[in-house]
Copies of this chain bind each other. A is one copy, B any other.
Amino acid sequence: MGESGWIWYPGDLELYYGMQQNFSRVERGYGWPAFWKSEGFRNRVAFRRGYALDHETEFRVYSKAVGFVLVGDRKYPFGQTISCPAGEVSIAIHAGRIEAFPSVYIEGDVVRSDAGWMAEDYAQPPVPAGRSRYFTRPEQDPARWDYSERSCLPVNTERVNGGTLYEFETELTAVLEVRCEEARLSGLTVYCGESREEALDLEHCYYSWRPDPETGRTPRCAVRFAFIPGEAVSLTAVHQYVDIPVRARFACGDPLLQQIWAVAEHTFRLCSGIFFIDGVKRDKWIWSGDAYQSLFVNRYLMADPDIDQRTLLALRGNDPMTGHINTIIDYSLLWILGVREHVEAYGDRRFLTQIYPKVQSLMSFCEEQLDERGFLIARPGDWTFIDWADLDKEGPFGAEQMLLAACWEALAWMSEALALDGTAFRRRKEELVSQINACFWDEEQGAYVDSFISGRRHVSRQTNIFALRFGVADEAQRKKIMERVLENEDISPITTPYFEFFELDVLAEAGQLDQVMEKIRSYWGGMLDRGAVTFWEEFDPDVTGPEQYGMYGDKFGKSLCHAWAASPIYLLGKYFIGLRQTDSGFVLSPRLEYFSELDCTLPIGGGDGFIRINWDGKTRNVATNRSGGVLRINGQEYPLFPNRQWISC
C-alpha cells in the first residue's frame, strides 16, 4: 500500500497554497492580492478506514489540527500511541483547523496513512484522501512548504552610486541574507532588480526590503541584482525552489539553439514552483491561460504530472462557480482543455475521476450563458480576453466559440475515457461547428470574422488560429486561412508571446517548420543578444536601452522571467525532435535536417520513461525504456523496443 504520508481532503492543499501564491504579489511596498474569488479550503474534515487486523498493532496520529482518533467507539488524542487488537476495526480521525487545511499523518506498521484512506467534508460523499510526495515525514506541517534551497554568492560586486551592486549568476527566487554589524543591519535596505537598471533605481524597483533584524533575511523574491547603499556587506542569496527534476536533455551542434533551450529551461523552472505561475517578479499569479501553455512545455521538459494537477485544482476552486477562472471566459475554457491535455499526456484516469464533476459544473456554468444558437455570450463582469490586440468583441466573439467547440469535444473524450456516453457532447460540438461556420465564416475573405453582429467583418489572426488549432475549419478552409490570414501581412501580426505560442504551434502543425525555426532563432535569440538569462514577458527588437524593461506604463513593469516565453522547448520537442505521445504509445519523427548533430533525451509519460536520440551527423541512435514506440524517419516506420537500441547510419 506504499509509504505513510500526510493526508488531507483532496484539493485543499491546492486551494490553500493557491491563495498564498495569488496573495504573494508585492509592488513597491504594497501587496496586490489577485482580484478574483479566493477561498475554500476545508476547515473540518474526517478521515476513515476499516481494517481487518491479523494481529495486534500500534499506531500514532500526528496533526496540527484540533481533533481526535476514534477507534471503534473510543476516542484518543493525537500524538498518543494507540493499540488496536486483532480483528475488524473502524478508524476515524476527526480534524478541525482554521488558519490552514487540516491534515494528519499516521505512523504504524499496519495502520498508517498510505493509500486507502477516505476523506469526508460533511457536504459530499467520501473521496480518496489527498497526498503529495513533498509531505512524507511526521515532523512536517503540510501548511508550511519545505522549499529546497541552494546558496548562491554574488558573481560580481561593483561600487556604484555610493553603495554596492551585487550581481548573481542568473535570476533566482531567493531569500537574501545580509551579514554585517548589528547596528548597521537595522537601518539597511536591499533593493532588488531583474535588471541592473532596476536594482539601481531606488524609487521604481519592485522589491526593496529591510532585512529581519534577528536573521538578516529578506522575504523570498525574484532577484538577479541587489543594491545596498553604503559600505559593502556580505550577501548570500538562498535560492528556494520546488524540486521537480528535469528529465529532458538537449545538446546540438548549434550554440544559439542550445542556449535558447537552456535559458527557456531556467525560465520555466523558475516559473514552476508549487504551481505554474506567469512570472517570478510579476504577477506571481496562477493564470489559467498561461498555465495551459505550461502544461505543454512541462510534458517535454519535466513531465511532472503533479504540478499539472496542483495547478488545475488551484485554478478551479470549489463549487459552486460564481465567476470565470481569473474572471476570464476563455481561461475557463482553456482550463477544460488543459484537463484533457493533462489526462492525455499521462493517461491520468484517477485525476480525471476526481476532477470530472468540476469539469461538468464549469461547463454548466458556461451553458447558462449560451444564446439560442449555442454561442457563449459574456455576462456583465466577465472578461473576454483572448489576447492583447484589436479584436472585434461585439456580440458572440468568434475565438471564444472555437474554444467552446473544443470543450464539447473534450467533454466527449473525457466521458468516454470514464466509460460514459459522450455522444451528446459530440453532437453539441458538431452543432456548434455548424453554427460557427454558418455565422462566422466569410467566404469572400477566406477567413472567420471576429464578430458577425457588428457588421465590421474584422478578420484577426487570433480567431483563425483557434479555428485551425481546435478543429473547426475543414481542409478547404484551412488552406484559405493559411494563405489569406497567416501568410497575409495586412492582417495585424501577433505581438504577445502568449499568442505566439498558438500561432507557432499552428504553423508547425501545418509543416511551416522553416518559418518556426527562424522565429525561434530571431525572437528568442534576440533576447539573448540583450543579455537575457531568462526569457521575457514581451520582446520588441525595436526597443532598446532602459525602455526595454517597461510595460503597463511602469518603468520596470515587464517581467523578465515569464513562463510563456519558454515555449521553444515545446516547439523543438514536438516538431523538430519530433516526439508525440498519445494515450496508447509514442512516435518519434526527428527532423534532423534542422540540426548538424543532436543528442536529446525526452521524457515519456509521468514516470521514468524516456526516449533518447543521438545523432552525430552520420549515425542515428535511438533508445527508449518504454514499449509502444515507433520511429518514423524518411517516411519509414520502425518499431522501438524497450532497452534495445535502434541504430542506423
Contacts and interface: CB of A to CB of B under 8 A. Distances in A.
Interface of A: 16, 19-20, 22-23, 27, 29-44, 65-69, 75-78, 94-100, 121-124, 320, 322-323
Contact of A77 (B30, B34, B38, B75): B30
Given A30-B77, A323-B123, A94 B16 contact: no
A43 B32 contact: no
B36 A122 contact: yes
Contact of A32 (B27, B94, B123): B94
A497 B34 CA distance: 51
Name A's interface SS. Answer: loop
A77 B19 contact: no
A519 to B, nearest CB: 36
Nearest to A102: B33
B96 A23 contact: yes
Contact of A98 (B67, B96, B99): B99
A220 to B, nearest CB: 15
Contact of A44 (B34, B41, B42, B99): B34
A123 B323 CA distance: 7
22 contacts: A19-B44, A19-B98, A20-B98, A23-B97, A23-B98, A30-B67, A30-B68, A30-B76, A30-B77, A31-B67, A31-B68, A32-B75, A32-B94, A36-B44, A37-B122, A37-B123, A38-B43, A38-B44, A39-B42, A39-B43, A99-B99, A123-B322
Contacts of A20: 98
A620 B65 CA distance: 59
A410 B39 CA distance: 33
A37 B100 contact: no
Contact of A100 (B27, B29, B99): B99
Contacts of A65: 31, 33
A265 B467 CA distance: 74
A557 to B, nearest CB: 13
B30 A78 contact: yes
Chain B CB count within 10 A is highest, among A23, A41, A99, for A23
Nearest to A381: B122
A120 to B, nearest CB: 10
A26 to B, nearest CB: 8
B68 A32 contact: yes
A96 B19 contact: yes
A38 B37 CA distance: 19
A95 B44 CA distance: 25
Nearest to A63: B31
A576 B38 CA distance: 53
Nearest to A318: B39
Contacts of A22: 96
Chain B CB count within 10 A is highest, among A40, A43, A99, A123, for A43
Contacts of A322: 122-124
Contacts of A40: 39
Nearest to A20: B98
| CB-based closest 4 A-B pairs | A33-B96, A99-B99, A31-B66, A30-B77
A97 B100 CA distance: 11
Contacts of A68: 30-32
Contacts of A29: 77
A35 to B, nearest CB: 7
B123 A16 contact: no
Contacts of A37: 44, 121-123
A29 B96 CA distance: 15
Contacts of A97: 23
A424 to B, nearest CB: 26
A484 B76 CA distance: 49
A253 B3 CA distance: 73
A94 B23 contact: no
Given A32-B68, A35-B122, 17 more contacts: A16-B98, A22-B96, A23-B44, A23-B66, A30-B76, A30-B77, A31-B68, A31-B77, A32-B67, A33-B65, A37-B44, A37-B122, A39-B40, A39-B42, A98-B100, A99-B99, A123-B322
A86 B36 CA distance: 31
A124 to B, nearest CB: 8
Chain B CB count within 10 A is highest, among A34, A76, A96, A320, for A96
Contacts of A38: 43-44, 96, 122
Contacts of A30: 67-69, 75-78
A323 B123 CA distance: 7
A96 to B, nearest CB: 3
A320 B39 CA distance: 15
A96 B75 CA distance: 37
Contacts of A36: 44, 122
A46 to B, nearest CB: 8
A31 to B, nearest CB: 4
A602 B182 CA distance: 63
A298 to B, nearest CB: 27
A31 B121 contact: no
Nearest to A38: B44
A571 B208 CA distance: 65
Contacts of A94: 32-33, 35
Contacts of A27: 75
A429 B52 CA distance: 53
Nearest to A26: B66
A22 B96 CA distance: 9
A66 B121 CA distance: 28
Contacts of A16: 98
Contacts of A124: 322
A413 to B, nearest CB: 30
A77 to B, nearest CB: 4
Contacts of A100: 98-99
B31 A39 contact: no
Contacts of A41: 39
